[in-house]
């Protein structure tokens, strides 16, 4: 199983932010779309950061109510770890574990073609375990 297969299942729609969007706007987009992090692209469509709900919580802790008026560029992580479409699930799990984050943008031909979350990996792992359990059950029935 690789990144390409996950994106094929979940679709490759990528919602993104601009660095100059407000944190209020970012919070609305995260909430409406029920997602935990958004890639940040500049006007040339280049990936320049990632903003997670954790960054907003940190901003609230550090700036209080005025956090909502901060810009995405004030809170985002600039050094984004990405993955390629042909990378294995194990590779990206390792990257997430090493970097202590739960989201990873996928890059193909220099552009973001999707974002994989820890939730997507959990979903795939559950499906895989269910498929294996069904196969074992069918095998046991066939042998009895």
Residues at the site binding ligand AMP, with contacts judged by CB under 6 A: 36-37, 50, 52, 54-55, 77, 80-81, 99, 101-104
Residue whose CB is less far from ligand AMP, 41 or 103:
103
Please give the C-alpha separations between residue 76 and each of 23, 87, 98, 109, 143, in angstroms, as whole numbers.
10, 25, 19, 24, 56
Residue whose CB is less far from ligand AMP, 66 or 99:
99
Residue whose CB is less far from ligand AMP, 88 or 134:
88
In whole angstroms, how close is the CB of 98 to ligand AMP at the nearest point?
10
d(CA 83, CA 107): 6
In whole angstroms, how close is the CB of 77 to ligand AMP at the nearest point?
3
Encoding tokens for residue 136? 């074992």
User: What residues are paired with 114 via a beta bridge?
Assistant: 106
């Amino acid at each position: 199983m690789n990144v390409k297969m996950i994106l094929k299942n979940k679709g490759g729609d990528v919602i993104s932010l601009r660095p100059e969007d407000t944190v209020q706007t970012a919070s609305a987009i995260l909430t409406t779309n029920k997602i935990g992090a958004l890639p940040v692209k500049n006007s040339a469509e280049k990936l320049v950061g990632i903003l997670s709900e954790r960054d907003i919580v940190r901003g609230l802790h550090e700036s209080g109510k005025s956090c909502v008026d901060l810009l995405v560029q004030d809170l985002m992580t600039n050094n984004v770890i990405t993955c390629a479409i042909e990378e294995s699930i194990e590779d990206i799990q390792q990257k997430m574990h090493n970097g202590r984050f739960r989201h990873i943008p996928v890059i193909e031909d220099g552009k973001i073609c999707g974002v994989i979350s820890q939730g997507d990996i959990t979903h795939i792992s559950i499906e895989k375990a269910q498929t294996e359990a069904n196969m074992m059950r069918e095998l046991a029935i066939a042998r009895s």
